[in-house]
Amino acid sequence: MLSFFARNASRDAASALRRALNWPARVGAARRTMAQLARMSDYELRDIGLTRQDVADANAMPLDADPSSLLARRRAAREHAAATVQRRAA
């Protein structure tokens, strides 16, 4: 039983170390993606369900936060609101 806990502790420590070592790469990739979004026109952003304010809000998040979850929630909220309006109009 002790070896089970030792293996899990070792695996957890290795996983934490990998996450820590990969953190700069993840942050860099997220920031590059945010820069690409910032270069898009308002029309292009609207086409993917985002606004310029969404991009600004995501850029204002702390470095260790994942901006994709914020952007996905905003887009989903707009899609839900649009579907509700369409249902009411029908």
Q: Model confidence over 24-57: pLDDT tens digits?
A: 888 888 889 999 999 999 999 999 999 999 999 9
- Cβ–Cβ < 8 Å for 51, 71: no
Q: Model confidence over 5-23: pLDDT tens digits?
A: 566 667 788 887 888 788 7
- The H helix count followed by the E strand count for the chain is 4, 0
- Cβ–Cβ < 8 Å for 50, 79: no
Question: What's the confidence (pLDDT) of residue 18?
Answer: 84
Kindly report whether the global pTM for this prediction surpasses the value 0.75. Answer: no
